[in-house]
């Protein structure tokens, strides 16, 4: 071990294992995590003979599919499978260690299965979830279009009900209506949950989810009327197999509309659901997970940069003196230490909002919707800040590594690729901040009229008339 690192470790004033246990949530959790890491990382099937960056785009995809299939096979064989294992493999650090530049099967588990569970009827769940879980089919979630992303009401894909055949007809009326971005859509998935504007009895009822077969289950050839492919190379996440999808009058059975909430009857009558809080719950969960992932990726980046800064010696601080560790330079500390602090800030905030989510969820069960807007507002801005802070901090610590941080092998460029993508997906950051702002503006009016405010905005009552003393 490098002697500078030995000295650093000897000089540490606290028990590092105690902090590890605190961050993991206890000693047992640490052991569980380490067992899981050993189980996956010791498998030679996950080792790359040649680093992925030296392979062609096509070879990278093929390797990733091989690894992803092996990963999920191993997961199913694991003696103590749990959701935590899934989380670690799909978005967490362990998954990104095996598939550095994205997992082409991730959407099957992250979006396809949860959507079937959250939006399908009991019968639909029984049929589709068992097929998806047994990997008879591979799915993805196709919502975003070439011309519309975060503003989902603007989606153009149509699903028009034809009562004579009891089918929906899916169509992409324009090029901008083509689905664009879904992971695994290009060449991996053979089914998708497709979000489209529902038309029945001559009326549009807004966006609804439909299960659509994209490829033949045997030959994997695209189904008639399905125009499908990969969108091309990106800044990062190049093995996620993000795809495009167009529909030319594609017919699907009425039963393929996910009808847990809203329904279309055989004659075309539309029946609206009284509540859509389940959809809301999934959204909240995803945002908390994103904040946790940002903390994980940033912890990786700061570990790389801090250890390097302890090993690296450079320049002369005092004439004639030996080259000091770069960690001794104040500017280096200013790059690294606030970035390390951000890891904790993100982790603790995510934990807090998760607890708040559970409280609000139990209030919802009793019909109390009062704190729902507050929770939504906090989760929107927290996702935005965690992702943008993480992206900035990864870049700052990459610069802290000088030229070596620019090497792909430093793993900082691909970490940046993973983190900066999160600024855009699951709600573009500026749009999310404006959603929080809308809530703040309403709350501001309430504060001005003297109403009692919910805890996270109670400060507006305290400081609404506050002025700086001059």
Residues in region 447-466 near another protein by CB under 8 A: 456-457, 459-460, 462-464, 466
Residue 170 vs 336, nearer CB to another protein: 336
Dmax over Cα atoms in the chain, in whole Å?
Answer: 90
Question: 122: burial class by Cβ within 10 Å (0-12, 13-18, 19+)?
Answer: exposed
Binding mask 315-344 for another protein (x = CB under 8 A): ------------xx-x--xx-xxx-xxxxx
Q: Which residues of 254-269 are buried (b: 16+ CB within 10 A; e: fewer)?
A: bebbbbbbbbbeeebe
Residue 172 vs 415, nearer CB to another protein: 415
User: DSSP letter at 428?
Assistant: -
List CB contacts of 271: < 8 A, sequence separation 6 or more.
262, 263, 264, 265
- Does the footprint of another protein cover residue 311 (CB under 8 A)? yes
| Contact call for residues 208 and 196 (beta carbons, < 8 A) | yes
218 is catalytic: no
Write out the binding residues for another protein, residues 129-168 only, by CB under 8 A: none
Region class of 67: left (phi > 0), else alpha (psi between -120 and 50), else beta = alpha
- Does the footprint of another protein cover residue 225 (CB under 8 A)? no
Pairing type for strands 191-200 and 139-142 reads parallel
- Does the footprint of another protein cover residue 75 (CB under 8 A)? no
- Does the footprint of another protein cover residue 190 (CB under 8 A)? no
| Contact call for residues 208 and 270 (beta carbons, < 8 A) | no
- Does the footprint of another protein cover residue 283 (CB under 8 A)? no
Write out the binding residues for another protein, residues 9-68 only, by CB under 8 A: 9, 11-20, 22-24, 30, 37, 41, 50-51, 54
Question: Shortest Cβ distance from residue 191 to another protein (Å)?
Answer: 32
**Residue of 58, 273, 430, 451 that binds another protein (CB under 8 A):** 430
Geometric angle at alpha carbon 38, from 32 and 40, rounded to 5°: 105
Question: Shortest Cβ distance from residue 304 to another protein (Å)?
Answer: 3
Residue count of the chain, please give it: 470
Residue 142 vs 385, nearer CB to another protein: 385
Write out the binding residues for another protein, residues 378-407 only, by CB under 8 A: 378, 381-382, 384-385, 401, 404-405, 407
- Taking residue 309's Cβ as centre, other Cβ atoms within 10 Å add up to 24
Question: Shortest Cβ distance from residue 34 to another protein (Å)?
Answer: 8
* Whole-number CA gyration radius for the chain: 25
Residue 208 vs 312, nearer CB to another protein: 312
- Does the footprint of another protein cover residue 418 (CB under 8 A)? no
Give catalytic residues, as residue numbers: 426
């Amino acid at each position: 071990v490098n002697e500078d690192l030995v000295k650093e470790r000897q000089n540490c004033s606290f028990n590092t294992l105690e902090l590890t246990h605190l961050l993991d949530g206890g000693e047992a959790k640490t052991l569980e995590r380490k067992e899981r890491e050993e189980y996956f990382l010791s498998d030679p099937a996950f080792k790359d003979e040649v680093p992925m960056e030296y392979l062609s785009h096509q070879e990278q995809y093929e390797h990733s599919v091989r690894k992803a299939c092996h990963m999920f096979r191993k997961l199913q064989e694991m003696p103590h499978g749990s959701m935590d294992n899934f989380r670690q493999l799909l978005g967490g650090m362990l998954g990104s260690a095996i598939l550095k530049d994205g997992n082409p099967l991730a959407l099957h588990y992250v979006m396809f299965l949860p959507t079937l569970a959250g939006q399908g009827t009991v019968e639909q769940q029984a049929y589709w979830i068992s097929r998806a879980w047994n990997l008879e089919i591979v799915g993805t979630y196709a919502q975003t279009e070439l011309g519309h992303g975060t503003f989902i009401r603007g989606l153009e894909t149509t699903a028009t009900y034809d009562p004579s055949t009891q089918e929906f007809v899916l169509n992409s009326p324009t090029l901008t209506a083509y689905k664009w971005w879904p992971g695994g859509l290009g060449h991996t998935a053979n089914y998708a949950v497709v979000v489209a504007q529902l038309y029945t009895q001559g009326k549009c009822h807004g966006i609804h989810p439909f299960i659509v077969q994209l490829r033949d289950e045997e030959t994997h050839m695209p189904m008639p009327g399905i125009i499908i492919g990969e969108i091309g190379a990106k800044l990062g996440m190049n093995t996620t197999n993000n795809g495009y999808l167009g529909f030319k009058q594609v017919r699907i059975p009425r039963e393929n509309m996910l009808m847990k909430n809203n329904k279309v009857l055989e004659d075309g009558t539309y029946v609206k659901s009284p509540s859509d809080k389940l959809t809301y719950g999934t959204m909240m969960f995803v945002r908390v997970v994103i904040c946790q992932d940002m903390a994980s990726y940033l912890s990786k980046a700061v570990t790389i940069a801090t250890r390097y800064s302890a090993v690296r010696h450079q320049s002369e601080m005092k004439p004639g003196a030996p080259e000091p560790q770069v960690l001794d330079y104040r500017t280096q500390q200013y790059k690294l230490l606030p970035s390390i602090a951000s890891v904790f800030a993100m982790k603790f905030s995510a934990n807090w909002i998760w607890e708040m989510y559970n409280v609000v969820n139990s209030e919802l069960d009793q019909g109390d919707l009062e704190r729902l807007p507050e929770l939504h507002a906090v989760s929107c801005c927290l996702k935005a800040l965690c992702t943008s802070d993480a992206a900035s901090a990864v870049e700052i610590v990459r610069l802290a590594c000088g030229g070596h941080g620019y090497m792909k092998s430093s793993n900082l460029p691909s970490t940046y690729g993973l983190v900066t993508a999160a600024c855009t997906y699951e709600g573009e950051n500026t749009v999310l901040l404006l959603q929080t702002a809308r809530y703040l503006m309403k709350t501001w009016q309430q504060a001005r009229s003297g109403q009692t405010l919910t805890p996270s905005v109670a400060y507006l009552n305290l400081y609404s008339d506050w002025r700086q003393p001059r």
